[in-house]
A and B are shown apart, each in its own frame.
Chain A
Amino acid sequence: MTLQPALFANDIDRYLKEHESKGLLRFITCGSVDDGKSTLIGRLLHDSRMIREDQLAAVTRDSRLRGSVGGQVDLALLVDGLQAEREQGITIDVAYRFFSTDKRKFIIADTPGHEQYTRNMATGASTASLAVILIDARYGVQLQTRRHSFICDLLGIRHFMIAVNKMDLVDYSEARFQEIVADYRDFADGLNVTDVRFLPISALNGDNVVNPSSDMRWFDGAPLLTQLEQIEILAVQNLHELRFPVQYVNRPNLHFRGYCGTLAAGAVEVGTEIRVEPSGQRSSVARIVTNDGDLNVAYPGQSVTLTLHDEIDISRGDTLVAANSDIEPCTAFTADVVWMHETPLMLGQEYEIKAGTRIVPGRVVRIVYQVDVNTMARSATDTLGLNGIARCQIEVTQPLVLDSYQRSPETGNFIFIDKLSNLTVGAGMVVDALNVGHIVWHDMAVTKRRRAERNRQKPSIIWFTGLSGAGKSTVADALERQLFGMGYNTYLLDGDNVRHGLCRDLGFSDEDRQENIRRIGEVARLMVDAGMVTLVSFISPFRDDRRMIRNLVEDGEFIEVFVNTPLAVCEQRDPKGLYRKARRGEISQFTGISSPYEAPESPEVEIDTSAYDLEETVGRLIAALRRHRII
């Protein structure tokens, strides 16, 4: 008897008082229909008096119609779900079941056991702290037993209860039971789980489910339900490693700024010195606010609102950690990934990655190995299909605060979201966050494309050509400031900053001018390779020179901007007095005076700085860059 009818009948107030202090245990049941999983769950619900009369009546009626257990009420029917599944006789999703005893409230994640439902099992296991794994006593440890155990272990479940079911069909044989226990122990040596318990049961008859079995007196353990009520769940949280992902900034009025979130790990106290990641700002906790009054200390799992002593800029997606914590946000990590969609995981494809309260673009750059869920054998692959499990190297474009999943599950998990369909296509558990200290693992080539993708821009050369005094440098400088402000990574090369360093050794002979432009072109090309939007301001009077540079980079990466300001205007401006010197013959071969300027035949953009002011000119350039898909 697991609920106390006498108590709630006679002293409901005392009953309620006692039940307010119950704990909650989530567990997953693994096994196929054939193992008697549904029957076991039905039995737990039934024998713990959680079945309502109307449900029981329906099941009794259906049992007669189906006749699947010869006259007995088929308790498995209690847990059948959607109509379609009932017709097919299988379960194809995660169903959550609820029951309570005097000791605990239980939530069962009821998942199907076949290999094609690995993703469902991973989903169910993600929130469970215990797994009930069913084995048919007649068949012993099967391939699927290994699969179920492996997935539960991978998802970090620390407690396994191996329920050897259908003991009635092997004459309640202790020898058979011990044989299965030995087999399982051999295999489980390779898992992380440390608490493995074995029970001989018959879900159909109720042996060792809620009540002890009179047919198996040789078993001295407690029945399944008693064990579920009593087992002490290992707390995985490390209370010293504060992790508070900011979920929502609460600003109801000018006098209150609170950071709402659910404490993922560690404890936080009033006065705790904190650091904000990834910004690195510091402050300390002023209040721990709840609607039921302020707290002095909050623990993992509590949803609270923190206020800080300092006004600093914090937003959703930031994580508060202890001020002296040595955690570093990372942009690369290894993780075990479970793929959950028919469309396979593609190397290098960008997905949204949601970890905690942060969503960032990221990609799998390498699959270290794929694991066969049945044999745990590892193999090489470069794609991961539905229900595949693999260890992967992942890169994200913005830093995440991640812990190893085994150490801190709540800050070591994440999901993949497809950018087009918005579906959740995968889930991952962090193995190792890769910090600056040990980046030795990179073996996927860092290419121009990958750098450009991380910079989220199209690298290019924006080449300003035109007469001296045409306004090239002024316009290029203004454009760079504009682009930089828009979030692009830019660099401006102009004739002067190059001449003073890179080309200091060059003079003004034809040969040296040729070498000068070659060097500028090569530097610009390297900048493009580095993923930059590169602006070059350089008279470059000869078409052949400009064509040579255009040919250094790929189609579409060279944007020629012809700064076509009339010579008369340039000469009038004469900012460096060069035209005057040239007219006086003090400078020979001066472009436009004593040396030709070969105007571009089909520049991507043409501007005249005497016709428009600077702001409008930059506006026209931005529009042109959009047209050419540079930005």
Chain B
Amino acid sequence: MREFTIRALTHLRQLEAESIQIIREVAAEFRNPVMLYSIGKNSSVMLHLARKAFYPGTPPFPLLHVATTWEFREMRAFRDRVAAQVGMELIEHVNEEGRATGINPFDHGSARYTDLMKTQALKQALDKYGFDAAFGGARRDEGASRAKERVYSFRDKHHRWDARQQRPELWSLYNGKLNPGESIRVFPLSNWAELDIWQYIHLESIAIVPLYYAAPRPTVVRDGRLIMVDDARFPLAADEVPQERWVRFRTLGCYPLTSAIESRATTLPAIIQEMLLARTGERFGPVVDHGGVGPVEQKAREGYVR
């Protein structure tokens, strides 16, 4: 018999192989999975892994974008380009009842707005299409309460997360047994850290929304945060004049709730360099994470997932 010398996988290849295993397992065990696609860098990596998992085929599930209508314009353009390129069905869901109320992130506060247009909208979409597994791009390094999240995060038929219902996960054995109406959120990137995500995007030349790169953009300062004026809906105060600044974004969401950082980083290595040198965490950016104690845990209970 031939002798083999084992070559240890690099950390990125190991993370990649483990994520692919998770994605395939869900496709094999669930009736109707869907991949939540939020257009951000985690979504880009997750989609890239899904395509690898089923090559030369196309991933056997659709993409779901829970849209608020307040996304950056560049995000929508990027989303449509990617969907056309990968050949997967893209489902866009907007909470139409929410939209009908005229709720917006400026006048109604980020908590209420996010709950209605993201959390409730997601539940609506999952119910509407009867999805029993939804891939999300969340990572365990994103916050203290995330550190204990399972890869298969169990939700009851009301999409609620309950600590006692979460299943122990040993080795790479995931328990996908469900009763009717129950579902799981799946986090194939659980063990990726922010640095891993960036290194992998670099290594694999994964396309990301141009907003991650620095460019001159029209911005105003609100509550000490740099907010980009992305379209004419932005309610400028009488004395407010958008200024062209070199900025980029670390995370992406609704443009009125996502603050920019001043930067000249126009390449991936430059972004990674800035990240390594930076002393503030990526979750500092979006306003959405500053709504009181333990926001992520609260959101998990409500069924929210990025």
B170/A290 in contact, CB under 8 A: no
Asked if A98 meets B171 with Cβ closer than 8 Å, knowing A16-B272, A252-B58, A422-B179, the reply is no
**Cα distance, A120 to B2, chains bound together (Å):** 41
**Smallest Cβ-Cβ distance to B141: which chain A residue:** A98
> B277 — which chain A residues lie within 8 A by C-beta?
5, 8-9
A441 within 8 A of B: no
Q: B213: shortest Cβ distance to chain A, in Å?
A: 15
A265 smallest CB distance to B (angstroms) = 11
Partner of B196, one of A13, A105, A301, A415: A105
How many Å lie between the Cα of A3 and that of B195 in the bound state? 12
CA distance A120 to B178 in the complex (A): 22
Partner of B53, one of A81, A256, A303: A303
Q: Are A20 and B12 in contact, with the CB atoms below 8 A?
A: yes
| Cβ A96 vs Cβ B276 within 8 A | no
> Which of B3-11, B39-47, B100-108 forms contacts with chain A?
B3-11
- With A12-B273, A82-B145, A413-B173 already in contact, the answer to whether A20 and B10 are too (CB < 8 A) is yes
Stretch of B23-31, B214-222, B239-247 that contacts chain A: B23-31
Contact with B along A292-309 (1 / 0, CB 8 A): 100001011111010000
Q: Is B83 part of the binding interface, using a Cβ–Cβ cutoff of 8 Å?
A: no
Known: A9-B273, A54-B284. A256 touches B24 (CB 8 A): no
The answer to whether B51 and A22 touch across the interface, beta carbons within 8 angstroms, is no
Question: Known: A80-B144, A82-B294, A126-B170. Contact between A354 and B175, CB under 8 A?
Answer: yes
Q: Chain A nearest CB: distance from B188 CB in Å?
A: 11
B14 touching A24, Cβ below 8 Å = yes
User: In the assembled complex, which residues on chain A have CB atoms less than 8 Å from the CB atom of B112?
Assistant: none
Interface residue? A214 (CB, 8 A): no
The residues of B that contact A98 with a CB separation of less than 8 Å are 140-141, 191, 193
- A423 and B167 in contact, given A20-B10, A105-B193, A248-B24 (Cβ under 8 angstroms): yes
A302 close to B276 (CB less than 8 A): no
Q: Hey, which chain B residues are within 8 Å of A93, CB to CB?
A: 148, 163
Binary interface encoding of chain B residues 16-59 relative to chain A, with 1 for a CB under 8 A from any of its CBs, else 0: 11101100110110000000000000000000000111111110
Dominant secondary structure at the A interface:
mixed
Given A9-B277, A291-B52, A417-B177: A20 and B147 interface contact (C-beta under 8 Å): no
B177 CB contacts on chain A under 8 angstroms: 352, 417, 422
A107 to chain B, nearest CB (A): 6
B9 pairs with A357, CB closer than 8 A? no
* B144 x A247 contact (CB < 8 A): no
**B28 contacts A248, CB within 8 Å?**
yes
Take A98-B193, A301-B14, A352-B177 as given contacts and tell me if A13 and B269 are in contact as well, using a CB distance cutoff of 8 Å.
yes
B293 to A83, Cβ gap below 8 A? Answer: yes
Instruction: Enumerate chain B residues within 8 angstroms of A367, measured Cβ to Cβ.
Output: none
Question: Do A237 and B173 touch across chains, with their CB atoms under 8 A apart?
Answer: no
Determine if A188 is an interface residue (Cβ-Cβ < 8 Å): no
Residue on A with the closest CB to B9?
Answer: A301
Report the minimum CB–CB distance from B259 to chain A (whole Å). Answer: 13
Residue B281, interface by CB 8 Å: yes
CB neighbours of B191 from chain A (8 A): 96, 98, 107
The CA of A253 and the CA of B6, in the complex, are separated in Å by 34
Most buried by A among B13, B148, B172, B193: B148
Interface string of A558-585 (1 = CB under 8 A from B): 0000000000000000000000000000
Question: Pick the contact of A247 from B13, B25, B58, B203 — CB < 8 Å?
Answer: B25
CB of B280 within 8 Å of the partner chain:
yes
CA–CA, A80 and B294, complex, Å: 11
| A76 is an interface residue with CB less than 8 A from chain B | no
What separation, in Å, do the CA atoms of A54 and B143 have in the docked complex? 11
Q: List the 8 closest pairs (A to B, CB-CB), nearest first.
A: A252-B57, A53-B279, A52-B281, A291-B55, A126-B170, A422-B177, A24-B11, A303-B20
Interface of A with B (CB < 8 Å)?
Answer: 3, 5, 8-9, 12-13, 16, 19-24, 52-55, 79-83, 93-100, 104-105, 107, 110, 119-120, 122-123, 126-127, 235, 237, 239-240, 247-248, 250-253, 256, 258, 260-262, 267, 269, 289-292, 297, 299-303, 305, 316, 340, 352, 354-355, 357, 409-410, 413-415, 417, 422-424, 427
17 example contacts (A-B, Cβ-Cβ < 8 A) are as follows A8-B277, A9-B277, A20-B203, A23-B11, A52-B281, A53-B281, A79-B144, A81-B148, A96-B140, A98-B141, A122-B170, A123-B168, A239-B4, A247-B25, A260-B24, A316-B28, A422-B178
